């Protein structure tokens, strides 16, 4: 199994900068970035620093859902591992994931956050795969839209490999 470059580190950095500008314009006042571990960790780290350049002042939280494990296919309903961040009641939240595929992970995370009576919710993903959607979920901001391919790098993995890569590639 190898990896073929799809988006370079420079292309990702340029998109992150644009996304941060859009977020700063879209979300008024203070808000909390909630990243989904582990995939969104690298994206969130770059996004929050771009948000600073865009004039936003986000807080940062993370939550973790069960993952694909070693497979490329999503396995049923994702489950929460650990806790939903505390004290989000009434807060504006930007939920951030690395990839939206079937929509189950983002949909479930959004549902968990709404249970906590957050104020408003926006969603952002670095990569959207609209063709793969099985569950309707609102994606407010997406960095890249791609077809039905499996990618890794820049935080995203294939069987825990490739997360450290500065670029995103197609696994195959
Ligand atoms: P969904 O729940 O089917 O939308 O899948 C979303 C989650 O699965 C994301 O949080 C990713 O971590 C992971 N995922 C989906 N597609 C890919 C991929 O192409 N490469 C790596 N991880 C993926
Ligand atoms: Mg994930």
Number of H helices, E strands in the chain: 3, 9
| Cα torsion angle, 12, 17, 21, 23, sign | positive
Q: Whose CA is nearest to atom 13 of ligand 1?
A: 99
Active site residue 148: no
Q: Is 39 in the pocket of ligand 1 (CB under 6 A)?
A: yes
How many whole angstroms separate alpha carbon 94 and alpha carbon 85? 13
pLDDT in tens, the chain (172 residues): 899 999 999 999 999 999 999 999 999 899 999 999 999 999 999 999 999 999 999 999 999 998 655 666 666 778 999 999 999 999 999 999 999 999 999 999 999 999 999 999 999 999 999 999 999 999 999 999 999 999 999 999 999 999 999 999 999 9
Question: CA 78 to CA 166: how far, in whole Å?
Answer: 27
Which atom number of ligand 1 is nearest to the Cα of residue 102? 3
Closest residue to atom 3 of ligand 1, CA basis: 102
Q: Rounded to an integer, what distance in angstroms lies between the CA atom of residue 137 and that of residue 104?
A: 8
Task: Provide the pLDDT for residue 74.
Answer: 64
Ligand 1 pocket residue status of 40, Cβ below 6 Å: no
Query: Is the separation of the CB atoms in 91 and 122 below 8 Å?
Result: no
**Three-class DSSP category at 42:** helix
Q: Is the CB of 99 under 6 A from ligand 1?
A: yes
* pLDDT recorded at residue 76: 72
Q: Indicate whether residue 101 lines ligand 1 (CB < 6 A).
A: yes
CA of 77 to the centre of ligand 1 (A): 13
Assigned token pair, 127: 């990569």
Kindly report the pTM of this predicted structure.
0.96
3-class secondary structure for 87-143? CCECCEEEEEEEEECCCHHHHHHHHHHHHCCECEEEEEEEEECHHHCCCCCCCCEEE
Q: What is the structure's pLDDT at 67?
A: 66
């Amino acid at each position: 199994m190898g990896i073929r470059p799809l988006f370079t580190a420079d292309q990702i950095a340029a998109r992150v900068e644009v996304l941060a500008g859009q977020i700063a314009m879209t979300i008024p006042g203070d808000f909390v970035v909630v990243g989904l571990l582990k995939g969104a960790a690298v994206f969130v780290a770059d996004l929050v620093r771009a948000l600073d350049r865009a004039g936003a002042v986000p807080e940062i939280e993370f939550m973790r859902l069960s993952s694909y494990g070693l497979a490329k296919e999503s396995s049923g309903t994702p489950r929460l591992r650990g806790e939903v961040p505390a004290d989000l009641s009434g807060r504006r939240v930007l939920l951030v994931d690395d990839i939206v595929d079937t929509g189950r992970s983002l949909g479930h995370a959004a549902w968990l956050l709404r249970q906590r009576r957050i104020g408003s919710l926006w969603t952002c993903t670095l990569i959207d795969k609209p063709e793969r959607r099985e569950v309707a979920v609102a994606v407010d901001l997406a960095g890249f839209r791609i077809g039905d391919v499996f990618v890794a790098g820049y935080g995203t993995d294939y069987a825990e490999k490739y997360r450290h890569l500065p670029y995103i590639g197609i696994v195959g």
